[in-house]
A and B are shown apart, each in its own frame.
Chain A
Amino acid sequence: MIGRMSAIAGIGATEFSKDSGRSELRLATEAVRAALDDAGLRPGDVSGLVTFTMDSNAEIAVARELGMGELSFLSRIGYGGGAACAVVQQAVLAVTAGLADVVVCYRALNERSGRRFGQAFASPDVDSGWHHPMGLATPGAMVAMVAQRYLHDYGASTDDFGRVTVAARRHAATNPYAWFHGRPITLDEHRASRWITEPLRLLDCCQESDGAVALVVTSLARARDLARPPAVIAAAAQGSGPDQYVMTSYYRDDVAALPEMGVVARQLWGQSGYGPEDVRTAVLYDHFTPYVLMQLEELGFCGRGEARHLIAGGGIELGGRLPVNPHGGQLGEAYIHGMNGIAEAVRQVRGTAVNQVPGDGPVLVTAGTGVPTSGLILAAA
């Protein structure tokens, strides 16, 4: 088992913006250096690098810029934001197998000033050929198809989606690192925002951001001797469901479900020994609000179709039953493909978050939904 064998020892990030004004490689370099500084390590200590297949920065390029020496572990994970926690799992596997001592996971992107994922584009991918030409060509539209069925199956309303954004923006409002710092919204503002793809409004969609995040993973034993208290990786899991597609898993019986997150959840609880009732706060991947509701259900925080009751009355806000995304999430802080959420989970474990959730329970983090995904449970040593 890999649970509690390793830890996140350092986190680093650039500022989060709409136009970084510099290359993605420079963003990656800055974030990795910051993460190493945070851990009290030097570039020469690094023996492994892991990132997303979508990342434009070669591991060897990052290594060159930082003057790293020899590397013994290089790996990438696919499926967009679904990779976020899986890159950490790769690092855990390398560290626990003895293939590398210190592994840095990074993701750097100029997603607002460079290629914007939300726009339609011609893809040569065979699967997308069943959707893009038919006009279903953006992530928002692909999620909207699931969201419409979710509303129909469970009697939820678009206000329930809106409450997710209201919570995220409330949390971002008191996070100085968040793009939407100082800018909370009301449910009426969600209702008034324009349609992107019905039933999704603009305020159901995460931001587009420029920035980078890096995480330093090492063995728990080594982490105990480093600068920061270790965020123990109590569980790290990846998951893909039956008849899985990227954003368009419309061909299995239940469209309004995320069975791939169920695969992740079962492993997270199994590896860590925790259950949903133990979780202090959850950092749930929030590129689109409906998937936050569906994740709450797949992870077992409530029954199927009951997430709207959990989020009603501020249930996922600070002080609620299960505070979700205390940093503001990708709706409120920034869209760094889920990696900024892992950094937030580390801060929550350390007790250094700007919106610190009290208690000593573990923190759950998830990665991109609607795609093969991943998750982590982090806990104090």
Chain B
Amino acid sequence: MIHFATALHCEANPVIHFYGMKPCGQLGKARFFKGETARLVVTGVGSIASAIGVTSLGERYSEPNALWLNLGICGHPSLYIGDALIASSIRSEAAKERFFPQFPIATPWRGQEVRTLASPSSQYQPGVAFDMEAYGFYSAALAFTTVEYAHCIKIVSDNEAQPANAPLDKSLISDHIETHIQSIDTFAGQILDTLGTTEFSESLAALQKRALSKFRFAETQRHQFTERLRKLNALEPETEFDTTLQAPDTKALLNALQVQIDQLASTQVC
């Protein structure tokens, strides 16, 4: 699942279209959209608005294996308008801490420092992209994921040769985002592939259900039971362990599962 955050509707529109998203609510300024493989929040402009929008999206949809992407425009002294970059460090003029996103795969875009400003600026600095959301996005996204799975992808909208002019050309911004959306989707898919997700096999899921209805587990035992099923799921997902349900009590059940794990682990270490 990809969780996008954009500041503007014109940045969001190509993403909404690409992933076939539908509106699914709002909270304050934040507008939410969802599709089968991606969700999006339009946060409004600014670092704080971005942080609030990201937090709202994360709290609304609990998704431990999501990739968080901040997609938007930026200023850069020398890159061409329409070029994409990815933040390799993120700082704010308002905070001391810096973020260093990490990349489990090679990225298709050049990495750049992204500096989040409170207002637009044409005082460009070499090798630095200016934006208004990345820092807020990143601080909030790290409540839900790690630095490998939160990234800021920025499309250059102004540079020294063509500084920012108000008002923004919304249609041009949408076009720029649309140009890159396919490569963003490919990148996202490759990163998400690095996240392993495992569900219990049918037989273990059934065992879990029957055991939970048959035995009264203390909270610690329930945790141990789930852990042991997780191990069995990795070791021998399709084997039937129903005989363990004949155990007289939870302690015996847990012991029976551990015996199975010890035997299977010793044959599967190598």
A, B bound = no
